Amino acid sequence: MKVAQLVKKAKRGNKEALLQLILSEKDAYYKLTYTYMGNTHDAMDAMEDMIVRLYEKIDQLKNEEAFYSWSRTILVNSCKSLLQKRKKVVLLDDLQRTDEREAGQAMTKDPYISSDQQMDIQALFIHINQHQKEAIQLKYLHDLDYQTIADMTNVSIGTVKSRVFQGLKKLRDYYKGES
């Protein structure tokens, strides 16, 4: 069944249609969430939060064909919200050590990247800021286009392109200096 038809059914209160929409992209949602959260437990919490928000706000979606980009934006916002709550509870120094360790673990979950590559990528990500890291991960690990990333992160497409370009430039410069 087409996405637009399922969204229309979900708007009319059909929970099965909404569930079908979510389940058809569950792996992509999980991978995206895991990238932000760094561990399974928090990733599942963020996905649960996204599902509740989708159910509550599905009637606000104007373009039925845009369901997946809209839902990914809600998912990213759920992740960021949960991360903000976590920052308030955990000391910043502890959080940074945990995030670095969990980020390394998150990369090992991808069967297409060898452990040596994962360690190299994580070591390089330390040298760029969080916004650049986020943009590069969404672009290259999740294969999202610039417009989708801009929509998800609530910045202009130019800002996304700049973050990717500047982040990659820093990584290239660092890598050249290291060899």
Residues 38-77 as b/e (b if ≥16 CB within 10 A, e otherwise) read bbeebbebbbebbbebbeeebeebeebeebbbbbbbbbbb
At 124-175, the pLDDT tens digits run 778 888 899 889 888 888 888 999 899 888 899 999 999 999 988 988 887 7
Q: To the nearest whole number, what is the mean pLDDT of the chain?
A: 81
At 12-27, the pLDDT tens digits run 989 999 999 999 999 9
- Output the pLDDT for position 178: 63
- pLDDT(115) > 70: no
**Rounded Cα gap, residues 134 and 171, in angstroms:** 14
At 41-57, the pLDDT tens digits run 999 999 999 999 999 99
124: left (phi over 0), alpha (psi -120 to 50) or beta: alpha
